[in-house]
């Protein structure tokens, strides 16, 4: 029988090139550390636990546009969105535009066990508070500075996909949105267009939310991958279509054989992946 090598892929957003070499190295180092901790977790946990854990670490780092470092909407508020999908159970859960909760991905993971699995706005917050999730400010000096400049995100999402030792796949994605968008706008991250997993593959997407939703990106890739029996071909075909429409997006993907595919139409995509001793960073 084929031995499964647990595999973890993380992403820190697609966006502009980080031209400042020092900042690029700093983010690379941070992602290396997070990948390290995430991979250790994967070796002792299942895929859904590992993607939740590692996405939480990315949310906790103010460099990334999710959780603590989230961009602010035009009214100066951080509204956070996150989702998880467990490929083994074909089960999806998410939170949309939740405020003042440190780790929306943990709330999404908890909702995975509920009958109402996608909650939004103040009701999502109330549920999270009642369930005991940590509350607190999710605005930083950096996000306030960017908001004052009416800036949109340079890197816009975090996420992960994993294959565990049991052959199970899972995906998680979390975001603060595009930055300075219309209050109440909903990102792609808490939708299957960006966060999707089956028993064949798992995908987490990043980029312009509206375009990702219109392309139904992650679902489209996953369906094609199963039909073509090739994740790589599914990515190629789907990205040739979104490129033709000048879509601005990227995705990380992983299948049950441990094949990793990463593709983007953007100038850069911050990613890292590990499979046994093999490791690669952007
Ligand atoms: N991908 C994040 C957003 O568009 O909000």
Residue 277 CA to ligand 1 center (angstroms) comes to: 32
Residue 209 CA to ligand 1 center (angstroms) comes to: 4
Name which residue sits closest to atom 5 of ligand 1, judged by CA. 177
User: Vertex 12, ends 41 and 20: CA angle to 5°?
Assistant: 130
Residue 142 CA to ligand 1 center (angstroms) comes to: 18
> pLDDT value at position 1?
64
Q: Give the list of residues 6+ apart from residue 158 with CB closer than 8 angstroms, or none.
A: 10, 11, 12, 13, 55, 58, 59, 64, 65, 66, 67, 173, 174, 175
Which ligand 1 atom sits nearest the alpha carbon of residue 181? 5
Q: Give the list of residues 6+ apart from residue 128 with CB closer than 8 angstroms, or none.
A: 95, 98, 101, 107, 135
d(CA 116, CA 245): 35
Judge if the beta carbon of residue 188 lies within 6 A of ligand 1: yes
- pLDDT tens-place string over residues 184-235: 999 999 999 999 999 999 999 999 999 999 999 999 999 999 999 999 999 9
Judge if the beta carbon of residue 176 lies within 6 A of ligand 1: no
State mean pLDDT over 123-139.
95
- pLDDT tens-place string over residues 9-61: 999 998 666 778 888 899 999 999 999 999 999 999 999 999 999 999 999 99
CATH architecture of 7-281: 4-Layer Sandwich (3.60)
- pLDDT tens-place string over residues 94-122: 999 999 999 999 999 999 999 999 999 99
Compute the chain's Rg from CA coordinates.
17
Q: Are 183 and 68 in contact (CB under 8 A)?
A: no
pTM of the model: 0.97
């Amino acid at each position: 029988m084929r031995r499964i090598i647990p595999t973890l892929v993380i992403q820190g957003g697609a966006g502009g090139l980080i031209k400042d070499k020092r900042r690029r190295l700093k983010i690379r180092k941070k992602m290396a550390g997070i990948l390290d901790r995430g991979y250790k977790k994967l070796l002792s946990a299942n895929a859904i636990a590992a993607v939740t854990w590692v996405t939480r670490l990315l949310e906790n780092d103010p460099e990334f546009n999710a959780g603590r470092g989230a961009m602010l909407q035009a009214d100066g508020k951080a509204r956070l969105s996150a989702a998880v999908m467990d490929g083994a159970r074909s089960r999806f859960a998410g939170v949309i535009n939740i405020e003042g909760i440190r780790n929306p991905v943990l709330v999404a993971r908890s909702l995975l066990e509920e009958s109402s699995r996608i909650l939004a706005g103040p009701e999502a917050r109330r549920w999270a508070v009642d369930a005991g999730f940590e509350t607190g400010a999710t605005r930083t000096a950096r996000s306030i500075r960017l908001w004052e400049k009416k800036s949109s995100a340079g890197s816009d999402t975090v996420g992960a996909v994993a294959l565990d030792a049991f052959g199970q796949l899972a995906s998680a994605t979390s975001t603060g949105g595009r930055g300075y968008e219309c209050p109440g706008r909903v990102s792609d991250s808490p939708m299957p267009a960006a966060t999707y997993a089956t028993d064949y593959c798992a995908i987490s997407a990043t980029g312009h939310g509206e375009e990702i939703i219109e392309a139904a990106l992650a679902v489209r890739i996953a369906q094609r991958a199963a039909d073509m029996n090739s994740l790589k071909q599914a990515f190629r075909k789907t990205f040739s279509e979104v490129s033709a429409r000048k879509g601005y997006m990227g995705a990380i993907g992983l299948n049950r054989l441990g094949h990793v595919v990463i593709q983007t139409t953007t100038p850069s995509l911050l990613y890292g992946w590990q499979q046994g001793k093999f490791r690669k960073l952007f």
